A and B are shown apart, each in its own frame.
Chain A
Amino acid sequence: GENVEQHPSTLSVQEGDSAVIKCTYSDSASNYFPWYKQELGKRPQLIIDIRSNVGEKKDQRIAVTLNKTAKHFSLHITETQPEDSAVYFCAADSSKFYFGSGTKLNVKP
Chain B
Amino acid sequence: GAGVSQSPRYKVAKRGQDVALRCDPISGHVSLFWYQQALGQGPEFLTYFQNEAQLDKSGLPSDRFFAERPEGSVSTLKIQRTQQEDSAVYLCASSLSPHPPDTQYFGPGTRLTVL
Contacts and interface: CB of A to CB of B under 8 A. Distances in A.
Partners in one complex: yes
A42 B101 contact: no
Given A96-B48, A96-B100, A46 B105 contact: yes
Interface residues of A, number: 23
Nearest to B4: A43
Interface residues of B, number: 23
Interface of B: 4, 33, 35, 40-45, 48, 56, 59, 91, 100-109
18 contacts: A6-B42, A31-B101, A32-B100, A42-B108, A43-B91, A43-B108, A44-B43, A45-B106, A46-B103, A91-B42, A95-B56, A95-B100, A96-B33, A96-B48, A96-B59, A96-B100, A98-B45, A101-B42
